[in-house]
Amino acid sequence: MARKMLVDGEAPVADGEQYDYDLFVIGAGSGGVRGSRTAASFGAKVAICELPFHPISSDWQGGHGGTCVIRGCVPKKILVYGASFRGEFEDSKNFGWEINGDINFNWKKLLENKTNEIVRLNGVYQRILGNSGVTMIEGAGSLVDAHTVEVSQPDGSKQRYTAKHILIATGSRAQRVNIPGKELAITSDEALSLEELPKRAVILGGGYIAVEFASIWRGMGAEVDLFYRRELPLRGFDDEMREVVARNLEGRGIKLHPGTNLSELSKTADGIKVVTDKGEELIADVVLFATGRTPNSDRLNLQVAGVEVDQIGAIKVDEYSRTSAPSVWAVGDVTNRINLTPVALMEATCFSKTVFGGQQVKPDYRDVPCAVFSIPPLSVVGLSEQQALEEAKGDILVFTSSFNPMKNSISKRQEKTIMKLVVDAETDRVLGASMCGPDAPEIIQGIAVALKCGATKASFDSTVGIHPSAAEEFVTMRTLTRRVSPTSKPKTNL
């Protein structure tokens, strides 16, 4: 008999009632794998279902590791590495490297090596689950009731499993804009597996994915036009840092089209004809829709178990990741909280500790760091200046540093690194930190620990820097850039 585990507010199971598993997990992405592994480590009997592996997702294709590993963070970062070499080759000349002749880029070789790596990682995740004692079942899972999951295989066969608890970790999928010719566009799934590298690319969107693919394709030699509705890309980030990213994109040769949307796509002999809402026309080899993602919840049959979703299909959960059905839980992008892989891992770990580890643990969403892997990258932790002003009871102190990295002083690349600290004037606590420049994610990860520990500006000032490094600028910003009152109007309309 499966173990009978209770969480506050949960009705006890009748004596003698049996389940196939203590926990059944739908979705073997980052959150699902973490949740199943940690639950098993607490002694739970666990099963997990996932679709057959394929680099491009569909109703019947997925793979262990999920979006991040197979068609997201990992392959994207591999392509960013590949695209970064273009700038490195240019910069190397003033360091004495004499490169004679053309430097050729082999897209198919990179694509093959990228695919080999995600195939390897898919296998790694399967071994991790197997070594943890988790039963792996291939197929698409959906609810029959609050304790039963039906798994459907591509051949049409179905099997049902019962569980004391069900964890939904099905992630999200890229969405398409509803305009004429939308079928001619691709999403990030296909962009990571294109057979041919485009020479002319049009990207619609101003978020992470749009900015990152603009950097990738430009770094590989393509002409890139980036269209977005706002005045600046990366809505939700610090406005000052958004301006820096926009300048860097233009400096790398990417054509920006702020305040512009696409209205129609059509196929021509020369490629895809793109028409904007301003009447502009251009021809592209590929059009990428990077306009957001939708929770993967529509095929889960949630209503039969009384699991509620919001207007976009995100599963509603409480602070412990519990849905409106007491035995059903959900973590990761399918809940549309903070849609980042490490956050899904945190949510899944807290779930397992709460349900199977005898600990009441809530995810802590304060000071979650993140990065945009543009070239160069942007990374932030804590509050932006605009967010700090909205939450502040008193004045905010802003410290900034703009400098030419030592490497650029030799390469002559005109691209400054920008750093910023946002500080509470009354308590001296550092509320937020951001950086745009080489190695920004590596540096901000360390800064995130300091913010999590409640570091003050005095703590930063008293820390000895590492010289020569860019990171030392964070502990040498002594001069106040500006003092801002909460009555000031943040630039939230950008």
The DSSP code sequence of 210-262 is HHHHHHHHHHTT-EEEEEESSSSSSTTS-HHHHHHHHHHHHHTTPEEEET--E
* Mean pLDDT of successive 10-residue stretches along the chain, which has 494 residues: 41 62 97 98 98 82 92 96 95 93 92 95 96 97 98 92 98 95 96 95 97 98 97 96 97 97 97 97 98 96 98 98 98 98 98 97 97 98 96 93 95 95 97 98 98 98 97 96 83 44
Cβ–Cβ under 8 Å, residues 258 and 228: yes
The response to whether 212 counts as a known ligand-binding position is yes
Q: What is the pLDDT of residue 490?
A: 54
pLDDT at 346: 98
Known binding residue 335? Answer is no
Instruction: Specify the pLDDT at position 489.
Output: 60
Using H for helix, E for strand and C for coil, what is the string for 153-173?
A: CCCCCEEEEEEEEEEECCCEE
Question: From CA 198, how far away is CA 196, in angstroms rounded?
Answer: 6
Distances from the Cα of 337 to the Cα of 17, 329, 347, angstroms: 35, 14, 10
Question: Exposure of 98 by Cβ count < 10 A (0-12 exposed, 13-18 middle, 19+ buried)?
Answer: exposed
205 labeled binding residue: yes
What is the spatial distance between Cα 433 and Cα 124, in angstroms, rounded to a whole number?
35
Is 279 known as a binding-site position?
Answer: no
CA–CA separation, 361 and 371 (whole Å): 26
DSSP string, 298-339: TTS-GGGGT--B-TTSPBP--TTSB-SSTTEEE-GGGG-SS-
CB 266 within 8 A of CB 184: yes
DSSP type of residue 75? H
- Which DSSP symbol is given to 452? H
What is the maximum span of the chain, computed from C-alpha positions, in angstroms?
A: 79
Q: Are 287 and 186 in contact (CB under 8 A)?
A: yes
E-state strands within 370-429 = 370-372, 378-382, 396-403, 417-424
The neighbouring-strand residues paired with 463 are: none
Strand partners, 186: 288
How far apart are alpha carbons 136 and 25 in whole angstroms?
Answer: 10
494 near 242, Cβ under 8 Å? yes
The Cα angle at residue 477 between residues 472 and 480, in degrees rounded to 5:
170
Consult the annotation and say whether 281 binds a ligand.
no
| Side-chain-facing half-sphere of 204: CA atoms under 13 Å | 27
Q: Are strands 281-284 and 271-276 parallel, antiparallel or unpaired?
A: antiparallel
Enumerate residues 6+ apart whose C-beta is below 8 A from 463.
475
Q: Cα(407)–Cα(367) distance, rounded to whole angstroms? A: 31
Does 425 belong to an annotated binding site? no
27 marked as part of a ligand binding site: no
**Strand order, beta sheet including 378-382:** 370-372, 378-382, 430-436, 417-424, 396-403, 482-484
402 is in an annotated binding site: no
Q: Which residues are catalytic?
A: 467
Instruction: Mention every residue, 6+ apart, whose C-beta is less than 8 A from residue 412.
Output: 94
- Interatomic CA distance for residues 159 and 161, integer angstroms: 7
Is 209 annotated in a binding site? The answer is yes
**CA 439 and chain centroid, separation:** 18
**Ranges assigned E (strand) in 350-451:** 370-372, 378-382, 396-403, 417-424, 430-436
Q: Are strands 148-152 and 482-484 parallel, antiparallel or unpaired?
A: unpaired
Residue 141, exposed/middle/buried by CB under 10 A (0-12, 13-18, 19+)? Answer: buried
Q: What was the pLDDT predicted at 13?
A: 47
CA dist list (Å): 425 to 176, 313, 321, 445 = 44, 41, 35, 24
Ligand-binding annotation for 333, yes or no, is: yes
Provide the pLDDT for residue 423: 98
Sign of CA dihedral 407, 410, 413, 419: positive
The answer to whether 166 and 327 are in contact (CB under 8 A) is yes
CB 435 within 8 A of CB 444: yes
SS3 401: strand
The pLDDT of residue 59 is 72
d(CA 23, CA 167): 7
- Is 170 among the annotated ligand-binding positions? yes
Task: Report the distance separating Cα 70 and Cα 120, nearest Å.
Answer: 10
